[in-house]
Amino acid sequence: MPLTPRMVWSPGKATTARLASRLAALAAAALVVFLLARVDAVAAGISACGGAAVWALLRGRSPSRPRRVATGLVIGATAVAVIAALGLPAYRGAPPPLVVAHEPRLLTSTATADAGAVARPATPGLEALGFVSTDNEDSWAGVDRDAAGLSTLAATGIVLGHHGGSIEVTPEADVLVRSHLNGTRALAVVSNYDGTNFDPGRAAAMMHDPGSRRRFVSAVTSQVARQGWDGVVLDLESLPPSLRTLYPEVLSDLRAALGGRTLMVTVPATGDADLGAYDLASLSGIADRIVWMAYDQHDPTGPPGPVAGLPWVRQSLMAAEAAIPRDKLLLGVAGYGYAWTAPGHGADLTVPEARALADQPGSVARWDDTQQEWAVHVADGRQVYFDDARSVAARAQLASTEGLGGIALWRVGSEDPATLASLPIQVRKDAPLPVSRRVQEVQASGVAALTFDDGPNPTWTPQILRVLRAEHVPATFFVIGKEAERFPSLVRDEIANGDVVGNHTYSHPQLTASTPRWRTRLEILGDEAVIEGVTGRKPVLFRSPYGGGDMSARGLGTDQRATNLGMHVVSWNVDSADWLRPGIGAVEMKVLGAPPGRAVILLHDGGGDRAQTVAALPAIIDGLRARGYTFTTVDGLDGSVTSPYAVRRTVGDQARAIGIMAAYRLQLALRHDGVAVLWIVIALSLARIIASGVLAVVHWRRGSATSRRVPLATPAMPSVSVIVPAHNEARVIDKTITAIRRLRVAPSEVIVVDDGSTDATAEIARARGATVLSQRRQGKAVALDAGVARSTGEIVVVLDADTVLRNDFLDALLPHFADPRVGAVAGNVKVGNRRGLLGRLQALEY
């Protein structure tokens, strides 16, 4: 029976094909979820919910589609958030208290305190100020020892920045908290120190420009108010005389901005009447106190001599007293020494270090009654001068006799430990001051924080965690990002164990001051992203690889760059040297030899064979406990750290954290299964190629048989209409029609539907003998409809105007219509022009 000239379509077959494709997609999705579940159940749940939400978004159009899509997305996002939140490792909710240790005889209460812990009324007397250089390792011990005996602690940490009016801040709120706990005021020192020398250029850039001056005042007061400092010590040194009139103006602006907070100014002591940049009368009229730095009579750059000989101190004090009211004057006293190998070649010494040199065999130590200092000739030829408790007492007596406001000690931690107990003056103490940090006082000789670097490691980290759990000791783990990616479950185990996780860079490179800023930033933020993705928490604590952070006011070192990114840098003051693998006993001795006080202990759980660390850890914990230590994490030891993780205060911040964690765990699981998926894809591709080859052979054999069964060019051959829709195809239409005319089985008619062409398409087609139907531009679909309606053939061939047919085209396709089940046949299209990239891509697609 002849076929009608229309396409034959089977609804049953199409429905089956759609169902099969949907089942295949569902099977593929289920396979992906199954593979993810083998790695991370949370990631599998996230992918399932996310896939369902995407499916809802991509479903067909309907009147209710917007509502359905919105509902699906909300449900999917909620499910993802719930699954991600359930996958977060549990961690203590409230920030830990600051653990403050007291010897049993000094402890008045073991209760948790939210304010000052020393209930002592204010007492009259002279002010005793102590400077704390926060980048020195002995500062913690000095603050713990001296805070209760001083009136004021002044901590370094704010320096002038490179840009006019800017400041660089090293967070050192620990001094502030411990000062207030002991009824001691806390001041922030603002200086122009660049890490090596005092930089007059930074000070000049700030003072000369009114805008820079305003930015400086605003930045300092904002920092002081935000952290709760009781005031500021302005320590600008090596200033040129040209700043003499500008310095009081800056001081006046700062005085007004600080309001009721204390403002002090340091002035280098000199016996000269001309003090250059320092107009004492103007400065003292604005500041609450002037610190007369009566030390460094001799320094490492010159010949050996007294650090602050008493006659020189008296002489320099005369210049100060001539311009400064005595009750505003604090006499600077030295709590350190110098050792010279030769003139101009000196080095700093703490008083304990100087005493150790004096006690060496062959050393000759002499007390100078005139200078009120110690002079030491060491056996190796070095000359040492230092001021001990007796020296400081002599200068404190001078301050009292002269009616001065008090003394200022440089520096807390380096001085003779007996200094404050030896003072011949009564030290003024204020009433207790509140602290914002929750505090827990404990009976202990010290507080220890165990820290582990370079993990996680699948061999050593689990063993260390088992020891910590058994001993009920928390620890702080500084993890490497790429290792955390490999072993995310270990990082979550650390959190679940009650430990703290910190940033140790992504790949643990040797970062120095010469490392490009972008590399340092990438390493820090990369590790931060990994930790946040694995745990849902953004770390605040940071430790530089190899301890090479180079914390300095220059802003060049890794530590300062980390600080600028909002991190809190954590160093250590007890090195176990376990990375050298010196033996289990040597590791134990290194740690247990730590002096009483606060101890941040460096250990390792990765980066090599840590069997000695694991073996030594129980003895280290037992030994420290026997010495009266209690244990906490770094954030419980350092008052500068209120929380080891960034606090998320808004719903948006929390949603962002869950989103990061969900996306990260999903991609981590996908990466983990990447190799398996790749092999599956390769196997399926090979199977498809083999199956396609077999089916092609079968198809060819059937086609050959069909061709043999249906002879061509017989009277029963059906008529064929060729329809060519065309729009502005004058360039190719001639070649197309010529190819049609060369077919071995000639079609009964060739119809060209001109779809609104503006060129010579219709004219060329007529010239080649084709029937031309012209219409206004309505598109290919309407043109095809018009051509089919006009056609008279039993078989309709549709092709584009740029398609060239082989002469055996109809020979190959017509025999298939002998089967009444066949309603349409598609030919194999080949791209002819493959010279351009687009043509090659089209050829690959076909």
Give pLDDT tens digits for 772-830: 999 999 988 899 999 999 999 889 999 888 888 888 888 888 888 888 888 888 877 77
- Cite the active site residues: 453, 604
**In terms of DSSP bridges, do strands 364-368 and 373-377 run parallel, antiparallel, or are they unpaired?**
antiparallel
pLDDT above 80 for 661: no
> Would the pLDDT of 15 be above 60?
no
Give the mean pLDDT of 493-508. 93
Strands (E), 444-499: 446-455, 475-479
Sort residue 536 into left (φ over 0), alpha (ψ -120 to 50) or beta: left
Mean pLDDT of 175-189: 92
CATH architecture of 448-641: Alpha-Beta Barrel (3.20)
Distance (Å, rounded) from C-alpha 715 to C-alpha 134? 106
Q: Which residue has the higher pLDDT, 726 or 713?
A: 726
pLDDT exceeds 70 at position 594? yes
Which residues make Cβ contacts (< 8 Å) with residue 445, sequence separation at least 6?
Answer: 101, 103, 596, 627, 628, 629
For residue 77, pLDDT over 80 is answered with: no
Q: What is the pTM of this model?
A: 0.71
pLDDT mean across residues, the chain: 84
Q: Among candidates 524, 560, 493, which has minimal Cα distance to 91?
A: 493
Residues sharing a CB contact under 8 Å with residue 82, sequence separation 6 or more, in sequence order: none
Average pLDDT over residues 227-250: 94
pLDDT at 117 over 50: no
Q: Percent of the chain scored above 90 by pLDDT?
A: 51
Write out the CATH class of domain 125-422.
Answer: alpha beta
Q: How far apart are CA 225 and CA 234, in angstroms?
A: 16
Which residue would you say has higher pLDDT here, 810 or 470?
470
Q: Name beta bridge partners: 772.
A: 752
> d(Cα 538, Cα 533) in Å, to the nearest integer?
9
Cα–Cα distance for residue pair 504/452, rounded to 1 Å = 10
More confident residue, 126 or 87: 126
Look at residue 288 and tell me whether its pLDDT is greater than 70: yes
Over residues 308-342, the pLDDT tens digits come to 999 999 999 998 999 999 999 999 999 999 999 99
How far apart CA 235 and CA 129 sit, in angstroms, is 14
Q: Check pLDDT > 80 for residue 39.
A: no
What's the mean pLDDT in 194-217? Answer: 93
Average pLDDT rounded to a whole number, residues 402-415 = 96
pLDDT above 60: residue 63: no
φ/ψ (deg, to 5) at 585: -65, -40
Going by pLDDT thresholds of 50, 70 and 90, the confidence category of residue 533 is: confident
**Whether the predicted pLDDT of 755 surpasses 60:** yes
| pLDDT at residue 109, rounded to an integer | 36
Q: Give the pLDDT mean for 107-135.
A: 62
Q: What's the CA gap between 413 and 395, in Å, rounded?
A: 19
pLDDT of res. 591? 95
pLDDT at res. 108 = 39
User: What is the reported pLDDT for 448?
Assistant: 95
CA diameter of the chain: 138
Bridge partners of 349, per DSSP, are: 337
Top pLDDT among 368 and 691 is at 368
Q: Is the pLDDT of residue 110 over 50?
A: no
pLDDT at 689 over 80: yes
**Choice between 59 and 676, residue whose per-residue pLDDT is larger:** 676
pLDDT digits (tens, 9 = 90+) for 346-403: 999 999 999 999 999 999 999 999 999 999 999 999 999 999 999 999 999 999 999 9
- Please report the pLDDT score of residue 10 as a whole number: 35
Q: Which of 36-40, 412-416, 551-555 has the largest mean confidence? A: 412-416
pLDDT (0 to 100) of residue 372:
97
273: pLDDT strictly greater than 70:
no
Mean per-residue pLDDT, 284-288: 96
- For the cut 90, the answer to whether the pLDDT of residue 3 exceeds it is no
Residue 555: per-residue pLDDT: 44
Q: Is a pLDDT exceeding 70 seen at residue 76?
A: no
Residue with the bigger pLDDT between 652 and 305: it is 305
**125-422 shares its CATH topology with 448-641:** yes
The pLDDT assigned to 477 comes to: 98
Superfamily of domain 714-845: Spore Coat Polysaccharide Biosynthesis Protein SpsA; Chain A (3.90.550.10)
CB 248 within 8 A of CB 279: yes
The residue ranges of every structural domain in the chain are 125-422, 448-641, 714-845
Q: Which pairing describes strands 329-334 and 406-410: parallel, antiparallel, or unpaired? A: parallel
CA count, 13 A, side-chain hemisphere, 35: 20
Per-residue exposure over 723-738, b if at least 16 CB sit within 10 Å of its own CB, e if not:
bbbbbbbbebbbebbe
The pLDDT value recorded for residue 256 is 96
Q: Please state, in angstroms and rounded to a whole number, the distance separating the CA atoms of residues 154 and 175.
A: 8
Whole-number Å distance between alpha carbons of 660 and 143: 41
- In this structure, are residues 594 and 587 in contact, taking their beta carbons and an 8 Å threshold? no
Q: 57-61, 194-198, 208-212: lowest mean pLDDT where?
A: 57-61
Q: Decide: 479 and 499 in contact? Cβ < 8 Å.
A: no
Q: What mean pLDDT is predicted for residues 681-693?
A: 85
Determine contact, residues 46/54, Cβ cutoff 8 Å: no
- pLDDT range class, residue 624, cuts 50, 70, 90: very high
Question: Please, which pLDDT band fits residue 437 given cuts at 50, 70 and 90?
Answer: confident
pLDDT score of 87 more than 90 = no
**Residues of the chain with pLDDT > 70: what percent?**
78
Minimum mean pLDDT range among 6-15, 314-323, 468-477: 6-15
The mean per-residue pLDDT over the stretch 72-80 comes to 59
